[in-house]
Amino acid sequence: MGLMAALKYVVLFVFGLVFGSFFNVLIYRLPRDLSIIFPRSYCPHCKKPIRWYDNIPLLSYVILKAKCRFCGVPISIRYPLVELAAGLIFAGVPLLGSLWGYTYVPAGQVTPIHDAFAIAAVSIFFLVLVIDFEHQIIPDQLSIALFAVGWLSVLVLRPGFSPGWASSLIGMFVLSAFFFVFALAIGGFGMGDVKLAIGMGALFGWQQLLVAAMLSFLIGGAAAVFFAGYLLLRRRLKARIPIPFGPYLAVASVVSVFFAGRLMQWYLAFFK
């Protein structure tokens, strides 16, 4: 990697840190139906506005010694971790795209526009993971944003993350219909999962969506078994424990952005 290429990823990382501060705003306000524009950032405990020099990604957390300047209440470690994760997303996604490409987009055909759409999609999935894990809710705004990113990518990218508009149109209803029927008949899935699946279908198309769905069930099943075993050892296992499924959809979707095509070929090779 040359000096200019390395500098590009450093700039993207810093740019991601700035967006990470905004991600923290979204994570706090979207589940509470608060405006993401007004008022400006404030301490959740004392409600005092945060000064700009106390809102520098990563550095302010260290300088303030993880406490609010005004009330002294500890600042959650989640805030710098989200900022760091956003920096890694903004730098890491284009780096992986340059090495491996994206599903349906070989590395040699990846453009900065592909990277921008991939960063947007992965950022949305990251927000879904954190919010659904903390609050067991997937805000409609994130599903709508994913839907918009998906259809814009179909219209703009050549080649795109989806094989085409027909595949995306079918994909919108494949997994979402399953979740909807399952939620009505048995339960276990929420309407947030249904809406997110519509956005996933628009972004991926039905072929890649099936890979993401299969991965999410495998990851979710393994996590559930591990969690149940842990609770059983601690003698805290109950008959029904609510487990959000959004995080597993999010992780599987991020993997699918890069590797769905390879995973599909690997799977189909067993039937040849």
| 189 and 244 share one domain | yes
Domain-terminating residue out of 46, 73, 100: 100
Rounded Cα–Cα distance for residues 247 and 216 (Å): 9
Give the whole-angstrom CA distance, residue 57 versus residue 223.
Answer: 31
* 147 and 95 within one domain: no
Instruction: Kindly report the pTM of this predicted structure.
Output: 0.94
What's residue 237's pLDDT? Answer: 59
Residue 130 resides in a domain? no
Query: First and final CA of the chain: distance in angstroms?
Result: 39
Residues 90 and 152 in one domain: no
Is there a single domain that holds both residue 28 and residue 141? Answer: no
150 and 81 housed in the same domain: no
- Give a yes or no: residue 169 inside a domain: yes
260 plus 177 within the same structural domain: yes
Asked whether the beta carbons of 65 and 223 are under 8 A apart, the reply is no
How high is the pLDDT of residue 166?
96
Q: Specify the 3-state DSSP secondary structure of 102.
A: strand
Q: Is 205 domain-assigned?
A: yes
Considering only CA atoms, which of 142, 89, 133 is closest in space to residue 257? 89
Residues 88 and 141 in one domain: no
Residue 241 lies in a domain: yes
What total number of domains does the chain contain? Answer: 2
Q: Which residues pair with 49 in a beta bridge?
A: 42
Element counts in the chain: helices (H) and strands (E)? 8, 0
Same domain, 258 and 177: yes
- Check residue 45 and report its DSSP letter: T
Report the distance separating Cα 203 and Cα 60, nearest Å. Answer: 36
145, 35: one domain: no
Q: Is the Cβ–Cβ distance between 50 and 24 less than 8 Å?
A: no
The pair of structure tokens assigned to 152 is: 């814009």
Inside any domain, residue 121: no
Q: In Å, what is the CA distance from 38 to each residue of 49, 116, 133?
A: 11, 27, 25
Among residues 38, 73, 100, the one where a domain terminates is 100
Q: By the 8 A CB rule, do 29 and 129 touch?
A: no
Secondary structure in 3-state letters for 216-243:
HHHHHHHHHHHHHHHHHHCCCCCCCCCC
For residue 63, tell me if it sits in a domain: yes
In this structure, is residue 90 part of a structural domain? yes
**Residue 216 pLDDT:** 96
Q: In this structure, is residue 81 part of a structural domain?
A: yes
Provide the residue-wise pLDDT of the chain in tens; the chain has 272 residues: 688 889 999 999 999 999 999 999 999 999 999 999 988 899 999 999 999 999 999 999 999 999 999 999 999 999 999 999 999 999 999 999 999 999 899 999 999 999 999 999 999 999 999 999 999 999 999 999 999 999 999 999 999 999 999 999 999 999 999 999 988 888 778 999 999 999 999 999 999 999 999 999 999 989 888 877 766 777 665 656 678 899 999 999 999 999 998 888 888 787 76
Final residue before a domain boundary, out of 48, 72, 100: 100
pLDDT of amino acid 136: 93
Q: How far is CA 45 from CA 34, 58, 115, 125, in A?
A: 16, 20, 38, 28
Q: Which domain holds residue 46?
A: 1-100
Question: Rounded distance, CA 212 to CA 196, Å?
Answer: 12
Same domain, 89 and 156: no
Residues 155 and 254 in one domain: yes
